[in-house]
Structure 1
């Protein structure tokens, strides 16, 4: 009862403060349990996200609203409504070019054991699949987030982390806040849970200093605030234009043309005959095939009406729409016919053939390269929290990454090329080992190769010395005595 009265007092106190225009910080708003005012401080992109989701889902396209045709004395004609999944195709191709192969990580400096903690964490949290999901959702909805939930196991008290992807279509609303130089200072996410017969609304806030968990009560909000153990916002917010941005009207036009063509085909799918009145009267049952049709006069007529032929302008428009939708969104056409013969092409030839995809890939790198770098720093901070004894080693790590090429290169040809460069003296052993990318520790690999080469040279010299001290006797070939007959 006391808690309920406290919620009422808090509610009216916040109304009074807001009515007087009192300026409060986000932290003060959370302490005052004024969650509505706190959310007003953050960025709200719900309208853009809703529009993108509508365009991504074929069932909510404008073509689905085509009116049916009502006929006097007959059932209404249900018009064809033929949406396409152009947006999905374009988004999947964009995803393929950027993250079709896993991100490549490389340790530049630091402890090998600490680096293994980093790579093990990525494997345990299924990073490759989750980053693909986050990228797909961002391309489809214009925003998503990758969050690391930090918690303690109720049974063991052990510190644990669970990675998850947040987006509107998965039940979350995102509210970021950036400062004047583009750094994210706050990120909140809203969701609902079911408790008994009630649907409970939640908003959780993260800053570098605090983690706030807010739950809507019957009269107000219940708020729990904790220190952030990592000192970083433990989530990465992805925002990008729709993958099909700029082609919305052309996609809509293409769907309308397809649907109208379908209506025409339906109308002429059954034979249609034109006959004069006198011929119709002689037909006992015009709906039955195989009947004799009698023409009684010179002007009597009976003929079938052929469906109209597809116009050249319609075909030209459809072809132009197909090409322009892909071209305007920098999307290569992976048509089956176009792909024939690509198995014999070199990597350079394939890249030239799909140059549009690589142009868009470089464009998206401008967004995702910074975000992946931020995620790397978050993981290191989380690992330092999970393994406090390894903090110094983890914080001294220097890890680089790069987006893998979408098409796998011919490794044998690549290795032979690098070996030729090394044998010709154009690159050093260290550079050759690094270019091969066969090990995560190229320095140690070079040391092992040099040691093996020195040992081999020493063994060769030892064998040569032994041969000089103990020269072998010449071998004399004695012919065998012929067998007499």
Structure 2
């Protein structure tokens, strides 16, 4: 769809909404299926039409045959959630750093205002949530909007915006699981020219349909009244679509979904078997008069005529089941590059060096690097939007709002702090120093405030002359 076509539909909002909705292609996996796969309570193994109860034949007091049912085990495993959670954690568990090279005080001030906006909106936490939503639901978005400051609200205190800005920037997450339907609109070149958001608002006992459309120049708020749309247009003063859209084609567990379902089936079947055979069964030779129910301990088969009694045991099958379970778990983790960091697995690993840890999590880091190419593009668009918006909130920054700021991802890795400190001591030590003490202190994992720490060490006479000359 092209901008000219979109603008031509603005006068007929109903047709515009219908056209925008049709622009979105169907996903490879339906959102309804993704929702079921993410929710263990809706897994196929819990579906009584797919995993049927067993029937059993008994007799009533008069000796008449009675057909009953035995509830089978249905054990869902939330592996889809685990795969998504770990993938998002390796990418975003360490805060994203903003890298820039400010050339003057105005740009330094702009970076402080950007940091304030980043921290105030709790983007460290929301970024991880967005990563989980993208990797799980395959799409999500963040919506930015301005909010008027309250009287005496010292939001910008200590920044260049203090006393100059009467607005702050706020962000909310949009996702299918949060009640939003997302409709990005792209032109032939693949550039997003508009973004539609469909949602419902509860008014009394009714659900009122809303559809908002965001373009670089206008924001249209649409509310359905009967069969007609009532729209409230407002100018988009920032000049950029205030939506950051994150998208990947398939959920993280797509390639191993059948393996997960098989694992749930095997474990559920094994649970049923344990209910029947987990406790010893005593068999009495002769005509069987009674059979114990599933789950009943001390099971006994009773024979009417005399004879010998002995235990029934199951010798070989458990090893086959264990092999299949272990094989399925191995391939689920390896095919999704999801490390098995359970306590049972990790307790036998001992202490690893930094290089060994990197090799241990190499698959997860390579996956994170691949995801950075998708997710990081959205973070860069977020930064560019914030710089442009902050230039409108405080016109002092407008000429430099397009300064280059780059997101730096640090993939999560357990740290051996003693090893890091030893390396810093060797690098900054006397004689063969290849690093200043100042730099070493900044990289010390035990130091939270490097500048304050250097001041304290200077007072104690612990720093060399390189601090003064660094």
TM-score for both structures, normalised by structure 1: 0.76
Work out whether residues 48 and 142 of structure 1, in 8 Å CA contact, stay in contact via their aligned partners in 2. Answer: no
Q: Does 1:179 align with 2:187?
A: yes
Alpha-carbon offset, residue 279 of structure 1:
8.9
Q: Does 1:51 align with 2:57?
A: no
TM-score for both structures, normalised by structure 2: 0.78
Alpha-carbon offset, residue 417 of structure 1:
4.9
Equivalent residue number for residue 247 of structure 2 = 239
Question: Tell me, which stretches of 5 or more residues in structure 1 are unaligned?
Answer: 1-22, 282-286, 458-485
Q: More helix by proportion, 1 or 2?
A: 1
CA separation of 1:192 and 1:83: change in aligned 2, threshold 3 A: same
Measured in 2, the distance between the counterparts of 1:378 and 1:101 equals 23
**For 1:250, which of 244, 255, 259 is the aligned residue?**
259
Work out whether residues 44 and 175 of structure 1, in 8 Å CA contact, stay in contact via their aligned partners in 2. Answer: no
User: For residues 14-29 of structure 1, what are the structure 2 equivalents within 5 Å?
Assistant: 25-29=5-9
Equivalent residue number for residue 31 of structure 1 = 11
Alpha-carbon offset, residue 333 of structure 1:
1.2
Measured in 2, the distance between the counterparts of 1:403 and 1:184 equals 25
- Say which is worse superposed, 236-245 or 29-38, in terms of deviation: 29-38
Work out whether residues 186 and 233 of structure 1, in 8 Å CA contact, stay in contact via their aligned partners in 2. Answer: yes
- Tell me the SS of whatever aligns to 2:244: strand
Alpha-carbon offset, residue 121 of structure 1:
0.4
Equivalent residue number for residue 102 of structure 2 = 109
CA separation of 1:280 and 1:119: change in aligned 2, threshold 3 A: closer
Task: Provide Cα deviations, 1:240-273, integer angstroms capped at 9, x if missing partner.
Answer: 2312121011111111101111111112245544
- Tell me the SS of whatever aligns to 2:69: coil
The structure having more radius of gyration, on CA atoms, is 1
Equivalent residue number for residue 400 of structure 1 = 406
Measured in 1, the distance between the counterparts of 2:255 and 2:82 equals 15
Q: More strand by proportion, 1 or 2?
A: 2
- Tell me the SS of whatever aligns to 1:71: strand
- Tell me the SS of whatever aligns to 1:213: strand
- Say which is worse superposed, 41-50 or 81-90, in terms of deviation: 41-50
User: For residues 186-265 of structure 1, what are the structure 2 equivalents within 5 Å?
Assistant: 186-240=194-248, 241-265=250-274
Equivalent residue number for residue 310 of structure 1 = 317
**For 1:266, which of 263, 270, 275 is the aligned residue?**
275
User: For residues 344-383 of structure 1, what are the structure 2 equivalents within 5 Å?
Assistant: 344-383=351-390
CA separation of 1:456 and 1:288: change in aligned 2, threshold 3 A: closer
Equivalent residue number for residue 93 of structure 2 = 100
Task: Provide Cα deviations, 1:336-370, integer angstroms capped at 9, x if missing partner.
Answer: 23323656322111011121111211111111221
Question: Tell me, which stretches of 5 or more residues in structure 2 are unaligned?
Answer: 58-65, 153-164, 291-295, 459-463
Alpha-carbon offset, residue 118 of structure 1:
0.5
Measured in 1, the distance between the counterparts of 2:195 and 2:297 equals 72
Computed over aligned residues only, the root mean square deviation of the Cα atoms, in angstroms, reads 3.8
**For 1:162, which of 163, 166, 170 is the aligned residue?**
170
